[in-house]
Amino acid sequence: MNRMNFLKNSFVASGALVAGSSLAGFAANEEHNSASISAAKTFNLDYAPHQGMFGNNAGNSFLDQIQYMYDQGFRAIEDNGFLGRSIEEQTKIGNLLAKLGMRMGVFVVDGGDNWKTSLTTGKKEFKDKFIDTCKRSVEAAKRCDAKWLTVVPGFYERKLPYGNQFANVIDAMRAGAEIFEPHGLVMVLETLSDTPELFLQQTHETYAVCKAVQSPACKILYDIYHMQKTEGQLIVNMDRCWDEIAYIQIGDNPGRNEPTTGEINYKNLFKHIYNKGYKGVMGMEHGNSKSGKDGELLVIQAYRECDNFLS
């Protein structure tokens, strides 16, 4: 599942643009129902589900789903398409999160240019549009007390040398940082694996951008799924760039589903992240490996299993 399809699939549940080892036999065991999984027990790390992940158990309403997430012990959510929601809907989500004491994870600063050649060109039209979207994002962030905002600087401009493209991206990111920094907001640049046309594809590249921008408002979004595909050595590469990583997302590979369904040793990885003192949100930007209510319970159980790294 690539990022664009992931966003489209998650979008279906709300009508607004929104980013979504096999435990066979768990769902069939009556003692492992949603009540026993939850019991208000929180996790060691702050995992953040998204809309639609628990829709079969919680119902179609996103607000009901947020309440269900809370009941299962989650204390954060992600909503990639939050910026595209109505002000009324944004406000309702923010109010519920505040009531429950939950954190808002990332939403995407998306002006429509993330998935094409844009900021690398240095053209004024793209930079102006990016700046305008950043300003709109500040207002949206206030409604849900968000701190982190996903930024994707788009595709390569194949007509320009790499150095010029790099400079153009730096210029745009500095402009964005100037908008976000006074508000305590952090744009987190996401390194992706969806297509070789993307300008940022490996962590060291994004690290270099952040070092060049030199702002606390410009950091790295480290997506474990994408980085397992493009560079591997997850712990080594995270440690190399740790001082610029402000946000982390999760997804097993292959399949981009919950931990325990692919090749990544998430229990060990979560322990490493915890021991480094990470206090941020861990976005669950993946699908469910199994459908229906039972599949949703498997997701919760997978996180309970991988989060049990202190015993």
- Please compute the mean of the pLDDT values over residues 215-241 and round it to a whole number: 98
Flag whether pLDDT at 23 surpasses 90: no
Tell me the domains of the chain and their CATH numbers. Answer: 3-307 (3.20.20.150)
Position 183 scores a pLDDT of 98
What are 193-206's pLDDT values in tens digits? 999 999 999 999 99
Position 5 scores a pLDDT of 54
What are 150-168's pLDDT values in tens digits? 999 999 999 999 999 999 9
Percent of the chain with pLDDT over 90: 86
Whole-number Å distance between alpha carbons of 198 and 203: 13
Flag whether pLDDT at 31 surpasses 60: no
Flag whether pLDDT at 297 surpasses 80: yes
Q: How confident is the model at residue 311 (pLDDT cuts 50, 70, 90)?
A: confident
Tell me which of 14-23, 167-176, 189-198, 208-217 is least confident: 14-23
What are 240-287's pLDDT values in tens digits? 999 999 999 999 999 999 999 999 999 999 999 999 999 999 999 999
Flag whether pLDDT at 38 surpasses 70: no
HEC letters along 102-152: CEECCEECCCCCCCCECHHHCCHHHHHHHHHHHHHHHHHHHHHCCCEEEEC
Flag whether pLDDT at 15 surpasses 70: no
User: Across the chain, what does the average pLDDT equal?
Assistant: 90
Percent of the chain with pLDDT over 70: 87
Flag whether pLDDT at 236 surpasses 70: yes
Count other Cβ atoms within 10 Å, centred on residue 202.
15
| Ramachandran assignment for 292, one of left (phi > 0), alpha (psi -120 to 50 degrees), beta (any other) | left
- pTM, 2 dp: 0.88
Count Cβ neighbours within 10 Å for each residue of 121-160 and write b for 16 or more, e otherwise.
Answer: bbeeebbebbbebbeebbebbebbebbbbbbbbbbbbeeb
Flag whether pLDDT at 33 surpasses 90: no
